[in-house]
Chains A and B, each alone.
Chain A
Amino acid sequence: MAIEILMPALSPTMEEGTLAKWMVKEGDKVASGDILAEIETDKATMEFEAVDEGIIGKILIEAGTEGVKVNTAIAVLVEDGEDVPDTSDAPAKQEAKAEAPPAKVPAVAKPAAPVSDVSPDWGDDVEVKATTVREALRDAMAEEMRRDDDVFLMGEEVGEYQGAYKISQGLLDEFGAKRVIDTPITEHGFAGIATGAAFGGLKPIVEFMTFNFAMQAIDHIINSAAKTLYMSGGQMGAPMVFRGPNGAAARVGAQHSQDYTAWYMQIPGLKVVAPYSAADAKGLLKSAIRDPNPVIFLENEIMYGKSFDVPVMDDFTIPFGKAKIEREGTDVTIVSFSIGMTYALQAAEKLAEEGISAEVINLRSIRPMDTETILKSVRKTNRCVTVEEGWPQGSVGSYISSVIMQEAFDYLDAPVINCTGKDVPMPYAANLEKHALVTTDEVVAACKSVTYR
Chain B
Amino acid sequence: MPPKKAAAKSNVSAEELLGHYREMLLIRRFEEKAGQLYGMGLIGGFCHLYIGQEAVVVGLEAAAGEGDKRVTSYRDHGHMLACGMDPKGIMAELTGREGGFSKGKGGSMHMFSKEKHFYGGHGIVGAQVPLGAGLAFSDKYKGNDRVTFAYFGDGAANQGQVYETYNMAQLWDLPVIFVIENNGYAMGTSVVRSTKSPSLWERGAAYGIAGEEVDGMNVLAVKEAGERAVAHCRAGKGPYILEVKTYRYRGHSMSDPAKYRTRDEVQKMRDERDPIEQIRDMLLTGKHATDDDLKAIDKEIKAIVNEAAEFSKESPEPHLDELWTDIYATEIPQEA
Contacts and interface: CB of A to CB of B under 8 A. Distances in A.
A200 B134 contact: yes
B331 A292 contact: yes
B9 to A, nearest CB: 30
A421 interface: no
Contacts of B335: 200-201
B190 interface: no
B256 to A, nearest CB: 8
Interface in B118-147: 119-124, 127, 129-139, 141-142
Interface string A70-83: 11000000000000
B101 interface: yes
A195 B105 contact: no
Interface in B154-189: 160-161, 164-165, 167-168, 171
Among B122, B257, B324: residue with most chain A CB under 10 A:
B257
B42 interface: yes
Interface stretch (A228-236, A326-334, A350-358, A399-407): A228-236
A64 interface: no
A95 B323 contact: no
B268 to A, nearest CB: 13
A293 B134 CA distance: 17
B124 A219 contact: yes
Contacts of A202: 137-138, 141
B41 A71 contact: yes
A192 B41 contact: no
B139 A200 contact: yes
Contact of B161 (A152, A189, A201, A292): A189
A32 B32 contact: yes
Contact of A188 (B105, B164, B258, B323): B164
A160 interface: no
Given A33-B270, A197-B137, A237-B333, A189 B164 contact: yes
Interface residues of A, number: 70
A272 B255 CA distance: 39
B202 interface: no
Nearest to A186: B164
B194 interface: no
Contacts of B1: none
Contacts of B270: 33
A239 B134 CA distance: 13
A75 B234 CA distance: 55
A184 B42 contact: no
B324 to A, nearest CB: 6
Nearest to A70: B41
Contacts of B133: 192-193, 196
Given A108-B320, A196-B132, A231-B120, A184 B167 contact: yes
Interface in B35-57: 35-36, 38-42, 44-46
A51 B36 contact: yes
A44 interface: yes
Interface string A181-206: 00110101111111111111111000
Contacts of A195: 130-131, 134
Contacts of A47: 257-258, 263
Given A98-B317, A108-B324, A233-B326, A8 B40 contact: yes
Interface string A5-35: 0101111101000000000000000001101
A231 B121 CA distance: 9
Interface residues of B, number: 79
Contacts of B254: 9-12
B102 A10 contact: no
A249 B323 CA distance: 40
Interface string B310-336: 000100010011011111111111010
Interface in A93-120: 95, 97-98, 100, 103, 107-108, 110-111
A192 B120 contact: no
B43 to A, nearest CB: 9
Given A12-B255, A237-B329, A231 B317 contact: no
A331 to B, nearest CB: 37
B32 A51 contact: yes
Given A196-B131, A200-B69, A236 B114 contact: yes
A377 B139 CA distance: 50
Contacts of B112: 228, 231-233, 235-236
Contacts of A324: none
28 contacts: A6-B39, A9-B38, A9-B39, A14-B255, A32-B32, A45-B257, A49-B35, A51-B32, A70-B39, A97-B42, A107-B323, A110-B324, A178-B141, A184-B164, A189-B130, A189-B164, A195-B131, A196-B132, A219-B124, A220-B131, A223-B123, A229-B326, A229-B327, A230-B105, A230-B327, A232-B112, A236-B112, A292-B329
Interface of B: 32-33, 35-36, 38-42, 44-46, 69, 71, 95-96, 100-106, 110-114, 119-124, 127, 129-139, 141-142, 160-161, 164-165, 167-168, 171, 249, 254-255, 257-259, 263, 270, 313, 317, 320-321, 323-333, 335
Given A51-B35, A192-B134, A234-B329, 18 more contacts: A8-B38, A9-B38, A9-B254, A97-B42, A108-B323, A184-B164, A188-B130, A189-B130, A192-B131, A196-B119, A199-B131, A200-B335, A220-B130, A223-B122, A232-B102, A233-B106, A237-B332, A239-B329
* 9 shortest interchain CB distances as A-B pairs: A196-B134, A192-B130, A200-B138, A189-B164, A8-B39, A11-B255, A196-B131, A232-B112, A233-B102
